[in-house]
Amino acid sequence: MPRKSKKMKKRLETILDYILWYQDEYGSSPSIREIGDRIDVSSTSQVSFYLEKLENMEYIVRRTNKSRSAQVTPEGLAFLGIEEEPVEVEKPASLLKQLKEVSESIWNVPLLGRIVASEPLPMPDDPTFDADSTIEVARSLFGIKEKPEELFALEVDGDSMIDAMINDGDVVIFRKAEMVNNGEMAAIWIDDDNTTTLKYFHQEKDHYRLEPANPTMDDIIIPKEKQLRIMGQVVAVVRQVGTVA
């Protein structure tokens, strides 16, 4: 066997073995970065290549657009020389079909961090959010025109939108947008101050007016000479108790 093929086989074995160990240790699959650290590969695209190869060989199955979802199949166990317990195992093709059906009914929306619902403040820097942070949201919550790749989520910090039923700690789902109509709720970035806020947006004659949904708070007036950007339009809210609006 060519030397390159031997190296590839060894790397695939290492990844499969690591996935099994990680699941036994932590109850979930490792992230792409963790797999890269294990095999000493810094490129996430290269790790993704190995995972796709394992998936094409039917050694693992993954839920579409879902991080930490890799599961080793019976074929993968056989590749490692591991014998299964003598129990009836569902065929991989059937399992793949079920996972596809689940992935189509659930969207995994990237959870990018926090947004303040108060006076505009610098975007909070929170190490608990990383490239693998996502939130699962039912596909049925969105209209037929929504596309999962256009969505992102931010956790709310503050109470300026409480009359819009958005509380501190809720997660807001946004559609990427560079402009919204007057009166629509949006994630707004003020470039000159490097600050962000969640408000109803109004473009008026010589200024922008950012309207809270809290009777104890005043509108925020932003002169038009300041650079202001719309980052996304609100399409759904996930309550901190787990319900969705």
Catalytic (active-site) positions: 160, 199
What counts of helices (H) and strands (E) characterise the chain? 5, 12
Q: How far apart are the first and last CA of the chain?
A: 57
CA–CA distance, 15 with 50 (Å, rounded to integer): 8
CB distance 230 to 185 below 8 Å: no
Give residue 47's identity as a one-letter amino acid code. Answer: V
Chain-centroid distance of CA 78 in Å reads 33
* Residue 169 buriedness (CB in 10 A; 0-12 / 13-18 / 19+): middle
Neighbours of 113 (CB within 10 A): 19
CA–CA distance, 207 with 194 (Å, rounded to integer): 18
Residue recorded with tokens 């931010």: 154
CA–CA distance, 121 with 138 (Å, rounded to integer): 31
Residue recorded with tokens 């600050």: 195
Q: Which token pair is 170? A: 């809720």
